[in-house]
Every structure is written in C-alpha cells, then in structure tokens.
Homo-oligomer: A and B are copies of this chain.
Amino acid sequence: MATGRTHRPATRSRGIPEATVARLPLYLRALTALSERSVPTVSSEELAAAAGVNSAKLRKDFSYLGSYGTRGVGYDVEYLVYQISRELGLTQDWPVVIVGIGNLGAALANYGGFASRGFRVAALIDADPAMAGKPVAGIPVQHSDELEKIIEENGVSIGVIATPAGAAQPVCDRLVAAGVTSILNFAPTVLTVPDGVDVRKVDLSIELQILAFHEQRKAGEEAAAEAGAVPPAPEESGKGPDGDVPAVMPA
C-alpha cells in the first residue's frame, strides 16, 4: 500500500501500528451501532465479534490507545466511541473534494458514510464543461479550472480521485500543488507524489482478482483430490508451478 514517509523516527509518544489504525474504523462502526442501541458497555469478546476480528487482537489494539476498559466489566461504549474518533481525527471537520464525477464519483458523493464520520464533501469537480452546474447528491459540479481555487478557499487537505486512469496523475499533481496532502485514489494507476503526501488506493478489480485466485484454488483442490493435476510447464525446467513443493535448492 502506498504510504508516504512517516518520517520522524523517534516516535516516543504514540506509535500506533498501521495494522491497528486500519482496524480502528471497524471498531468505531461496531461501537456506533451499539451506541445507537443504547448499549452501555461491551466486552472485548462481543465487540470483536461485531467487528469481525478476534478478541486478543482487539485488546492489543486498544492497549495502544490507552487503558480505556474496566477489568471484569468491559468497555464503556460512548467513551470508546469518543476516544477512537479523536484518535482517528474524526472529531474535526474534514472537507474533501471529489474529482471525476462519473458513475463512481457520483456514488461517492452520495455515499452516506462520509458525512456521518466527520467528512464533508466540499466540492465535486469534473473536467467535462457539460457537467458544470449540474447537481450531484445536491452539490453542483464545478469545472476543473476551479480546482486550485476550491482547494484553497475551503482549506481542503484530502482529495478523492475518481477519474479515468489517464487523468489521475495530472489531477493528483494539481491537487498536491494546491495543498492537498492526502489522496484516496480510485483510478487504476500508481500515483507518484512527493514526500509527505499520503496516497491510499482502492482498486475494484484488484479485489476481484484476489478472490479469483482463491476461487481457482478451491476448484483446483477439488480436482486435485481426484487426480494429480499438473498445469503446463513451458520451457524453463526445474521448479515451476507444481504441488506443494517449494523452490528447490540443493547445496
């Protein structure tokens, strides 16, 4: 995953592992659901189940944030919601812009999960002049000529790129030049950014491909159970894709 440099080697105060950070939103969602049902406290076991992880991991994760639980009782739901929100920076308002209002951009603009978590769609931007002024999710689309102005006037530091692949890097460059320091990229391209800028990538087809890999292996196991299946082994001799045999290396 493309992550900018988190320079500052001596993180004496709070070094929350990336893996933990990535799970905090999961916990937060589960906690929010409990909160809406007015559940006062929850055990690590229950919360872990609701978030889809195991309890040891959850407790370890929370231990990086501090000691917010009560032994013999569990965690106070409201208090934890607040602590995690604060840790994630969601107690403040994050204006974001979405660039590229095609199908995906429109879906993102309409996505309720943003507004409910401290994110505010400050502007929708598209390169197509015909889109300008047209409202999407109640927000008028603006032409990309305005990009820099919009970023500066709204103090936007997070940009979402939902353009076609070819437009992504130029858009990215302009966003960064205008002051954006975090980018969520939906375009199927590797973005190049300067140090200090974070990029996260969501690629719809990559996830499907990973599923296909496992799916294929399931089918292969079934077949292999009946006969010894050996796929084609082109030129190269030696290892190749065979059964469980790892790479060989005689001494």
A55 sits at the interface (CB 8 A): no
Question: Do A239 and B92 touch across chains, with their CB atoms under 8 A apart?
Answer: yes
Q: A10-B218, A93-B239, A246-B85 are in contact. Are A205 and B119 (CB under 8 A)?
A: yes
Interface residue stretch chosen among A63-71, A126-134, A144-152: A63-71
Task: Find A66's partner among B82, B209, B236 (CB 8 Å cutoff).
Answer: B236
Nearest residue, chain B, Cβ from A247: B63
CB-contacts of A193-243 with B (<8 A): 196, 198, 200, 202-218, 221, 231, 233-234, 236, 238-243
Note all chain B residues with C-beta closer than 8 A to A94. Answer: 208, 212, 215
Q: Which residues of B contact A251 (CB under 8 A)?
A: 76, 78-79
Q: Which of B103, B182, B213, B221 contacts A214 (CB 8 A)?
A: B182
Q: For the complex formed by this chain, how many copies does it contain in all?
A: 2
Q: Are B29 and A250 interface neighbours, CB within 8 A?
A: no
| Chain B residue at smallest Cβ distance from A26 | B206
Q: Which residues does chain B contribute within 8 Å of A181, judged by CB atoms? A: 215, 218
Roughly how many angstroms separate A196 CA and B215 CA in the complex, as a whole number? 10
Chain B nearest CB: distance from A10 CB in Å? 7
Besides the known contacts A3-B214, A66-B236, 10 further A-B residue pairs in the complex with CB atoms under 8 A apart: A10-B218, A11-B214, A15-B244, A29-B188, A30-B190, A66-B240, A88-B209, A108-B204, A184-B208, A184-B211
